[in-house]
Amino acid sequence: MRLGTTLLSLGVFTIVAVGSGAGMQETVPSPTGVFTKLPKSTTIRQDINGGLIHANYTVPTVFFKNTEDVKATNLIEQAERGWISGYVQAVGAMCGLDDSLVAQHGRIYEIHLYPVTVFQRKSLYSLELESRYNFARGVYQVSYYTLTINLERNRQLTLTSLFQSRAVASSVLHQVQRSVMNKYGPPTQANPYGFNQIESYTGFHVVPNGLEFEYLSCTVAACGAGPITILIPLNKLPRIRTLSPQPPVVD
């Protein structure tokens, strides 16, 4: 994992990593109340666009077969940087990345990424991160990002590759769709559940009692509902070979 001072180019934006934090271990809850130990991790702080945007992201250190898995740790770091890049682009599109904004309004835009659930069983490593970000006035919004990795192959798992079947992945997404519509009504956008990207769909993570699906605000429900988390229990899912034998169902 690249720590210390790093220079990156994200389109027209420049990011400079100005420091890194020490490792930490902490008990943290997920939105569904599943608790886990956060492993050793590193927090990286970045100033973007001359300090107009502050970014802090925590990268857990992955261990596989009692050895630190540098490739998997780097994969997580790259994903987090990608999410930060998306945030920078969103700020630029909505507000314009003009340093005069600080002088005019005193606005410092921030994004914080922090792991809240880590699940590992054999070669499967699944991670959920909480993202807190503000566009202005210090009002923070929350969303969740997910990443599931096959450690033996060092690649991110899609829903299709997790079940090794596109048809099964589609069936599971239909379960998610029914759960959301039963609770929140029809979605606010067309095709928001991932049916149009089944081959590449990654908006889920594994927890001890099932799969959790994360959706950003204003996608599958009205904006007032905030980010949506849907749990599909293990006993409602086809067998996941990567988890065989599967852990007991947690009520």
Residue pLDDT, tens place only, 183-228: 988 887 777 888 888 889 999 999 888 999 998 888 888 878 888 8
pLDDT for the residue 98: 61
pLDDT digits (tens, 9 = 90+) for 98-147: 655 555 555 677 889 999 888 988 889 999 999 988 765 656 788 899 99
pLDDT for the residue 235: 87
Task: Name the β-bridge partners of 11.
Answer: none
Please report which residue ranges of the chain form alpha helices under DSSP H. 70-95, 100-105, 159-163, 166-184
SS3 129: strand
pLDDT digits (tens, 9 = 90+) for 230-251: 999 988 888 876 665 544 443 3
Distance (Å, rounded) from C-alpha 131 to C-alpha 140? Answer: 10
Domain 158-251 has CATH 1.10.10: no
Average pLDDT over residues 9-31: 33
Q: Of 136 and 69, which is predicted with more confidence? A: 69
Instruction: State what percent of residues in the chain have pLDDT above 90.
Output: 34
SS3 139: coil
Of 30-44, 85-99, 163-177, the poorest mean pLDDT is in 30-44
Average pLDDT over residues 176-183: 91
pLDDT for the residue 13: 30
Average pLDDT over residues 150-157: 92
- Through-space distance between the first and last CA atoms of the chain, rounded to whole angstroms: 37
For the chain, what's the residue count? 251
pLDDT of 43 > 70? The answer is: yes
Report CA torsion sign: 10, 133, 195, 161: positive
Distance (Å, rounded) from C-alpha 138 to C-alpha 8? Answer: 26
Distance (Å, rounded) from C-alpha 102 to C-alpha 141? Answer: 20
- Choosing among 3.30.300.30, 3.30.565.40, 1.10.10.10, 3.40.50.970, the CATH entry for 1-156 is 3.30.565.40
Pairing relation of β-strands 63-64 and 204-207? Answer: unpaired
pLDDT for the residue 240: 79
Nearest to residue 57, comparing CAs of 143, 115, 2?
115
SS3 187: coil
Nearest to residue 113, comparing CAs of 92, 90, 85?
85
Q: What is the mean pLDDT of the chain?
A: 76
Distance (Å, rounded) from C-alpha 152 to C-alpha 124? Answer: 8
Torsion of CA 216, 217, 218, 219, to 10 degrees: 20
pLDDT of 163 > 60? The answer is: yes
Domain boundaries, the chain: 1-156, 158-251
pTM here?
Answer: 0.76
pLDDT of 6 > 90? The answer is: no
- Name the pLDDT band for 9 (thresholds 50, 70, 90): very low
Which pair of structure tokens corresponds to residue 146?
């997910």
Distance (Å, rounded) from C-alpha 39 to C-alpha 26? Answer: 8
